[in-house]
Amino acid sequence: MKPSALSSSGVIVLIGCALACNRAASLPRSESSSSSAALATSSAPLGSVGTTAQPWFVGHWSGSYRAQAVEPALQAPEAAQEQWHTASATTPSNGVLSLRVAPNGEAQGDSAGDLGQAKLAGHAQADAIKLRFEAGESNGGYAGTLILRRENASLCVGTLRVSTGDSLAIRQASVNLKRHE
């Protein structure tokens, strides 16, 4: 590029800046301040203006379950089948669940009922909350999983599947958890 072309383009830029500054100085005070406010708002990083929405899963959820006995899917010798029928209850197992989910997706909760006092722990992601159910040694030591899917903004539905350590008692329940505001 020739030195004369470079210097003439620099002059044009300077003239443009001077005209813009002169226009801003000649605007009435209210128009000038609203223009600068609009400029400040539009140049702010995305998400820094206003409040950001929390993920759908954040908050306190609770509900109940009514678990039914489930037969093992595997074929077992007659003696094992007899033990399973002895250990399986014919009456449903009832209980309640309470869960808190943090903005980072960490989920912690408790369950109380016929399956024993249990701890729930897991993680929320996308449209699901996946939890471990661990009742320890109380009431047979049930352990298993609770997988919940988002039904809408205030309802999660899913399935609780648990068994004792020896798998002689297997339970399954449909679960609905509602969000508390």
Whether 32 shows a pLDDT value over 80: the answer reads no
Backbone angles phi, psi at 127, to 5 degrees: -115, 25
Angstrom distances, CA of residue 117 to CA of 46, 59, 146, 148, 171: 45, 22, 15, 20, 15
Higher pLDDT, 86 or 100: 100
Whether 22 shows a pLDDT value over 60: the answer reads no
Q: Hey, which of 11-15, 37-41, 168-172 has the most confident mean pLDDT?
A: 168-172
At residue 76, the pLDDT reads 60
For the stretch 1-13, pLDDT in tens is 555 554 444 444 4
